[in-house]
Amino acid sequence: MGPAAPRVARLLLDFGEELASSGAAQAGGAFTDLPEADALIKRSPEAFLTGVLFTQGISAERAWAGPYLLSQRLGHFELERIAHEEPLVAAALASPPALHRFVHTLPRWICSAARRVTDEYGGAAACIWEPGSHVLEITRRLNAFDGIGEKKAAMAVEILRRHFGVPMMGAECGSVAYDVHVRRVFLRTGLTDVDTPEAIREAARRVCPEAPGTLDLAAWLVGRDWCRPRDPRCDACRLAPACARLTGRDVEGVGVRRAQSSERSSSPESSLG
């Protein structure tokens, strides 16, 4: 960890607080360009859960629009029907223009999730993140779904906690998602020198022990909007005053020790695009 890491963390936390207070990262406005899609994600925990399944290998905006567009094509968003209509879900996802690049695996994940929510949570996805549950328990429950690994679970927990205001215990046990944008920012700012899930999460815990997951959205946005792989815009970046600017580092590039993770190899793009 570089000497400026605490300042980088402070800037990330300030940015995150600004986003939350301005509403820029609220579910009502930031996930997609489609107001109807945002509204569905916001009012329906089942649509949110399905959106989490969509967030792989495509842009964030496209992913979060997925549940709404799927509901339009199906003519409903009823979990009990979705649970048993995999061929219809598959056809709806794959019809041109396809709603996702993984049109073969996503229907299985969506229908499996619908069955699990129906069978284990009485059809109410909100029971997965019942208010007052511990972060680790919610993470464990999300991890049990086909198509949700540690990365998506960490992202989902942080969105629920910070942007939907779901009360949870154990914020200190939260984590940043091992995402390409987050990793790039952590490496280039000097928050960590090693590109592994453990190193990234440990770096977040070191600089923000009370709630490491709080760094997630701000780091992701910095990576997406300024700290781009080829042409980082350091002059305009929120982290510029403290960043080590190790721009030769990239998650697909050189200068860092790299992870050998199946999560990474199965997800060529960021979970959030």
12 binds ligand SF4 (CB under 6 A): no
CB of 85 to ligand SF4, least distance (A): 45
The burial of 201, by beta-carbon neighbours within 10 Å (0-12 exposed, 13-18 middle, 19 or more buried), is given as buried
Interface with ligand SF4, residue 227, by CB under 6 A: yes
Counting contacts by CB under 6 A, is residue 239 touching ligand SF4? yes
Q: How far is the CB of 225 from ligand SF4 (least distance, A)?
A: 9
C-alpha distance across the termini of the chain, in Å: 26
Contact 147, 111 (CB under 8 A): no
- Is the CB of residue 143 less than 8 Å from the CB of residue 153? yes
What 3-state class would DSSP assign to 254? Answer: strand
- In three-state secondary structure terms, 43 is helix
Rounded to a whole number of angstroms, the minimum distance from the CB of residue 252 to ligand SF4 is 15
**Among the listed residues 67, 107, 174, 232, the single contact to ligand SF4 using CB under 6 A:** 232
How many chain residues interact with ligand SF4 (CB under 6 A)?
Answer: 15
String marking each residue 24-63 x if it binds ligand SF4 according to CB under 6 A:
----------------------------------------
Q: Which is nearer to ligand SF4, 75 or 241 (CB)?
A: 241
Structure tokens at 207: 């600089």
Site string for ligand SF4, 166-205 (x = CB under 6 A): -------------------x--xx----------------
Among 117, 222, 256, 259, binds ligand SF4 (CB under 6 A): 222
Verify binding: residue 111, ligand SF4, rule CB under 6 A. Answer: no
| Residue 204 vs residues 13, 130, 187, 213, 253: alpha-carbon distances, Å | 11, 26, 12, 8, 22
Q: Does 251 bind ligand SF4 (CB under 6 A)?
A: no
Q: What's the CA gap between 243 and 191, in Å, rounded? A: 9
Identify the helix (H) or strand (E) that includes residue 258.
strand 257-258
234 near ligand SF4 (CB under 6 A)? yes
SS3 86: helix
For the bound state, the minimum distance from the C-beta of residue 189 to ligand SF4, rounded and expressed in Å, comes to 5
* Whole-number Å distance between alpha carbons of 19 and 236: 17
Residues that bind ligand SF4 (CB under 6 A): 185, 188-189, 222, 226-227, 232-234, 237, 239-240, 243, 245, 247
